[in-house]
């Protein structure tokens, strides 16, 4: 009896020789239904630049364009996407024959994060690199994402195990680099750009976050983190500059309230238009 017969429900009564049987071994169904057209990763070599908020804003803006969108929260030790989209507290997890079903947030955005599997959202994940990378692979291969126009992956900062796993294992169509005005950030971000080039993955462009703040009393633009240099960093690195985003107290409040999809910004809309033009 062959391996084919071991998986066949008629193995006890069938008299057909295995070499003549047209039935193939049934593969695992996990992830088989997924049809994700464009997978975009958001990354930065430096923490604290608002990479996760840029991820959420891009996902929300795409969904407002009528696109089917998913967010994979690959920042396993510092997940923030569930809170930004209002998926806090006990979130019932379901599964299909194709894997875990990512919960849907506002605008129908599907989100998968390690926080959904923790007893409390502030419980730490104390894992070494290989386990972190393995969790991201599971979120990709063992989840029933279904059909998506765009999946946005929120990577942890740096160029370690998780970013490397995502770039090597997932069909990444493009990378959004996030920076902020500080000189130190610009130096570290260039490391990320060089990593992406070594992996031969297209860089969609650079977004400078927290470029300025607007005074609530006089509307003056205040460069609280230093002079904007995102356009220059992009030019020096030979990539496109997608635009600048301000430090906005309204955005911070909405994220804390789980209402990131309610934020309105022509700057974000312009960035998303450029992304959509670069990808089908």
Distance CA 250, CA 260 (A): 10
Please state at what angle helix 161-169 crosses helix 183-198, rounded to 10 degrees: 40
pLDDT score of 80: 94
CB 152 within 8 A of CB 275: no
pLDDT score of 69: 98
Distance CA 237, CA 46 (A): 17
Q: Which of 82, 73, 86, 85 is nearest to 153 (CA)?
A: 73
Mind giving me the DSSP string for the chain? --HHHHT-TTTTT--S-GGG--PPPPPP-TTTT-EEEEEEEEE-SSTTS-HHHHHHHHHHHHHHTT--EEEEE--TTS--HHHHTT--S----EEETTEEEPPB-GGG-EEE-GGGGSSSTT------HHHHHHHHHHHHHSB---EEEEEEEEPPSSSSHHHHHHHHHS---EEEEEE-S-HHHHHHHHHHHHHHHHTT--EEEEEE-S--EE-TTT--EE-TT-S--HHHHHHHHT--EEEE--B-HHHHHHHHTT-GGG---HHHHHHHHHHHHH--
Q: Which of 112, 174, 107 is nearest to 140 (CA)?
A: 112
Longest dimension (CA), the chain: 86
Distance CA 161, CA 176 (A): 18
Distance CA 163, CA 148 (A): 22
Query: Could you tell me the two tokens for 161?
Result: 């195990």
Which residue do the tokens 């969790």 mark?
135
CATH superfamily of 35-278: P-loop containing nucleotide triphosphate hydrolases (3.40.50.300)
- Look up the pTM and report it: 0.87
pLDDT score of 2: 47
pLDDT score of 59: 98
pLDDT score of 22: 57
pLDDT tens, the chain, 280 aa long: 444 454 454 555 566 666 666 555 445 677 788 899 999 999 998 888 999 999 999 999 999 999 999 999 999 999 999 999 999 878 889 999 899 999 999 999 999 999 999 988 899 999 998 899 999 999 999 999 999 999 999 999 888 889 998 998 899 999 999 999 988 888 888 899 999 999 999 999 999 999 999 887 887 888 888 888 899 999 999 999 999 999 999 999 999 999 999 999 999 999 999 999 999 7
Paired sense of beta strands 174-179 and 203-208, if any: parallel
CB 77 within 8 A of CB 124: yes
């Amino acid at each position: 009896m062959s391996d084919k017969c071991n998986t066949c429900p008629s193995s006890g009564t069938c008299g057909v020789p295995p070499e003549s049987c047209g039935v193939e071994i049934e593969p695992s169904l996990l992830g088989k239904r997924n049809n994700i057209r464009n997978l975009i990763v958001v990354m930065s070599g430096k923490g604290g630049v608002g990479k996760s908020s840029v991820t959420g804003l891009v996902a929300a803006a795409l969904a407002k364009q009528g696109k089917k969108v998913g967010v994979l929260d690959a920042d396993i030790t510092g997940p923030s996407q569930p809170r930004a989209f209002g998926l806090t507290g006990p979130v019932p997890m379901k599964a299909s024959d194709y894997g875990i079903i990512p919960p849907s947030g506002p605008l129908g955005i599907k989100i998968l994060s390690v926080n959904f599997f923790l007893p409390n959202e502030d419980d730490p994940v104390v894992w070494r690199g290989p386990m972190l990378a393995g969790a991201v692979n599971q979120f990709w291969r063992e989840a029933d994402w279904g059909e998506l126009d765009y999946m946005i992956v929120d990577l942890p900062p740096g160029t370690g195990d998780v970013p490397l796993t995502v770039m090597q294992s997932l069909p990444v169509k493009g990378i959004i680099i996030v920076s902020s005005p500080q000189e130190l950030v610009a130096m570290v971000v260039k490391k990320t750009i060089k990593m992406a080039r070594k992996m031969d993955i297209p860089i969609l462009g650079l977004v400078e976050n927290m470029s300025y703040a607007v005074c609530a009393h006089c509307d003056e633009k205040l460069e609280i983190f230093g002079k904007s240099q995102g356009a220059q960093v992009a030019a020096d690195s030979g990539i496109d500059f997608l635009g600048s985003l301000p430090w906005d107290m309204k955005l911070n409040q909405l994220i804390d309230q789980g209402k990131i999809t309610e934020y309105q910004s022509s700057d974000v809309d312009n960035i998303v238009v450029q992304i959509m033009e670069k990808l089908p």
